[in-house]
Amino acid sequence: MQARNKLEENFIKYLLLLCAVTAVFIITLLVVFIFRQGLPVFGEHGFLNILLGKAWNPTASIYGILPMTVGTFYVTFLALLIGVPCGLATAIFLAELAGEQVARVIRPAIELLAAIPSVIYGLFGMVVINELIRYMERNWFLNYLPENYRWGYSVLSGAIVLAIMILPTIINISEDALRAVPRAYKEGALALGSTHFQTIFKVILPAAKSGIISAVVLAMGRALGETMALIMVIGNVTMLPQHGLWSIFAPVSTLTGVIALEMGYAGPEHRAALFAVGVVLFCIIAFLNSVALLLIRRGVDN
């Protein structure tokens, strides 16, 4: 009886261990399969040719991903520019200013923002935001924009949609970081005669700095990986944006977008090139997330 119990116990333990290592198993498989498909392309076409090539022309077997890389980072940075101030402000509001009642209105709203599927954001962006931007392009900035920047689909649309989508991430993690600041700091500053706002901006925010930075980095990771909402609003034109500041009205393409759109009809060489894009994307995001994780861990230790 005892022996049978022990056997059962051990069996269950190793079954559960198997469950636990599944995640590691999946990641390994993922890396192996995708890199196996994508890496040879770098060999065939030249690593720099692909990474820095300005033209993406699959019918001519030209696979330069620079336009998509620029597009991805441009939209992401603009989204962070719009989203971080708003998100941080909301986080400060929730951590320091809001009473019970108000928080009970704001928090569910943020949760819901995070739960909405990206295609809904894309649909809204396609129909509403692009209309607004097209109006701006054709009425306010008509004389400053080249013909093909008057379409509505633009970096700006993508950035706006993306900013809304990353708000929950920024708000939640920043708020945690702000709340983690020891009370003593705040009480000390107030006791010395600072106003609440002075305390917030000169004491609490700096103390929460690393947490806030990791919030931004994580949000950046999310933004870099976003696919559906962007495909529906940025135009998917594989060209480098130009004309200085007016380039926010340029239609662009992202690394994620080109994979999603072209996988359906890609021939074998084209498909392999798309996997190579996947490899690049994976490396960028894995790097970014590792940085964020390290920052969070360091923040916790401190």
Partner 1 sequence: MFKKAGLISLILLMSISLLVIGCGENQNAQEEGLSGNLVLAGSTSVQPLAEELAMRFMELNRNVKIDVAGGGSGAGVESSANGAADIGMASREVKDEELAAHPDLKPIVIAQDGIIVIVNQANPVNELTLVQIKGIFTGEITNWQDVGGKNAAITVINREEGSGTRTAFNEIVLHGESFTDKAAIQNSTGAVKTAVNADENAIGYISMGSMSDQVKGLKVNGVEPTIDNAKNGDYPIARPFNFITKGEPDGLTKAFIDWVMSGEAQEIIQEEGFIPVQ
Partner 2 sequence: MLLTKPKGKEKLINLFLWASAFFTVFILILIISYVLVKGVVHVDLQFLTDKPRRMGAEGGIFPVIIGTLYFVTLTIIIATPIGVGAAIYLNEYTRENRLTKIIRFGTELLAGIPSIIFGLFGYLFFVVFLGDITGGWSLVSGALTATCMILPTIIRTSEEALKTVPRSYREGSLSLGATRWQTIYKVILPSAFPGILTGIILGIGRAIGETAALLLTLGGSLLTPTSIFHGARTLSMHLYMVAMETGNMEKSFATGVVLIILILSLNIIANFILKQLIARHS
Site for partner 1 in 59-88 (CB under 8 A): 59
Q: Does 148 bind partner 1 (CB under 8 A)?
A: yes
Distances from the Cα of 152 to the Cα of 149, 157, 275, angstroms: 8, 8, 30
Burial class (CB in 10 A: 0-12, 13-18, 19+), 236: buried
Q: What 3-state DSSP class applies to 252? A: strand
Near partner 2 by CB under 8 A: residue from 133, 226, 240, 248: 226
State the Cα–Cα distance between residues 274 and 255, nearest whole angstrom. 9
Nearest approach in angstroms of CB 66 to partner 2 is 19
Does 111 help bind partner 2 (rule: CB under 8 A)? yes
Binding residue for partner 2 (CB under 8 A) from 154, 169, 172, 227?
A: 227
Residue 193 to residue 42: CA distance in whole angstroms: 62
Residue 66: C-alpha distances to residues 60, 75, 238 (Å) = 17, 14, 9
* Cα distance between residue 57 and residue 37, in whole Å: 20
CB-nearer residue toward partner 2: 190 or 239: 190
Return the residue of 207, 261, 284, 291 that touches partner 1, per CB under 8 A.
261
Considering CB distances under 5 to 8 angstroms, the limit depending on partner class, which of partner 1, partner 2, none binds residue 1? none
Does position 249 interact with partner 1 (CB under 8 A)? The reply is no
Q: Using CB distances below 5 to 8 A depending on partner kind, what does residue 124 bind out of partner 2, partner 1, none?
A: partner 2
Longest dimension (CA), the chain: 88
Rounded Cα gap, residues 242 and 261, in angstroms: 23
Smallest CA-to-CA distance from 164 within 259, 61, 41, 80 is with 80
139 lines the binding site for partner 1 (CB under 8 A): no
For residue 96, state whether it binds partner 2 (rule: CB under 8 A).
yes
**Residue 65 near residue 53 (C-beta atoms within 8 A):** yes
Residue 57 β-bridge partners: 62
Question: What is the closest distance, in whole angstroms, from the C-beta atom of residue 132 to partner 1 in the complex?
Answer: 13
- Binding span for partner 1 by CB under 8 A among 21-29, 148-156, 171-179, 290-298: 148-156
* Under rule CB under 8 A, residue 179 binds partner 1: no
Question: Looking only at residues 149 through 168 of this chain, which bind partner 1 when binding is defined by CB under 8 A?
Answer: 150-153
Tokens of 188: 């000390």
Q: Which does 58 bind (CB under 5 to 8 A by kind): partner 2, partner 1, none?
A: partner 1
Q: Does 263 bind partner 2 (CB under 8 A)?
A: yes
Residue number, 110 or 233, with CB nearest to partner 1: 233
Residues making contact with partner 1 (CB under 8 A) = 58-59, 131, 134, 146-148, 150-153, 235-237, 239, 251, 261-262, 264-267
